[in-house]
Amino acid sequence: SGKITIGDFVHIAAYSALFGGSEGIELKDFSGLSSRCVIYASSDDYSGNSLTNHTIPDKYTNVTNQKVILEKHVIIGTGSSIMPGVIIGEGSAIGSMSLVNKSVQPWGIYIGIPCKKVKDRSKTLLDIEKEFIKSLKG
């Protein structure tokens, strides 16, 4: 739902959900979501200082609306959740069942709840991308 932009060669597996809201979600080229991933560009305030859910008029709620961006070559493992305002840096991989509640740097492998960097990710895929693009041009 909401504003969603999808680049080229993007894969979104079954049962994933994208809630773009007013600020939107951007999935850049070669990014991908495994099954049952959820991306939220908007979220209710769970503090108890406002009412929640879409049946309540806006003046009684405190909804966060922030764009979510998956940069080029990002891969998200099955069952992961991405919260509003997160930017996942180019080439990063998010392990299965992870919660991404803060932006992550490029070319890392992140896992956990909340996710933490466990190591760097190889950039070899950039050479493979060049070969692939060249093959498309004949």
pLDDT along the chain (138 residues), means of 10: 95 98 97 98 95 93 96 98 98 98 98 98 97 92
**pTM, entire model:** 0.93
- The SS3 assignment for 47 reads coil
- The SS3 assignment for 18 reads strand
**Interacting residues of 60 by C-beta distance below 8 A, sequence separation 6+:** 50, 51
**Average pLDDT of the chain to the nearest whole number:** 96
Specify whether the CB–CB gap between 48 and 69 falls below 8 A: no
Give tens-digit pLDDT for 57-92.
999 999 999 999 999 999 999 999 999 999 999 999
Burial string for 37-75 (b: 16+ CB within 10 Å, else e) reads: bbbbbbbbeeeeeeebeeeeeeeeeebebbbbbbbbbbb
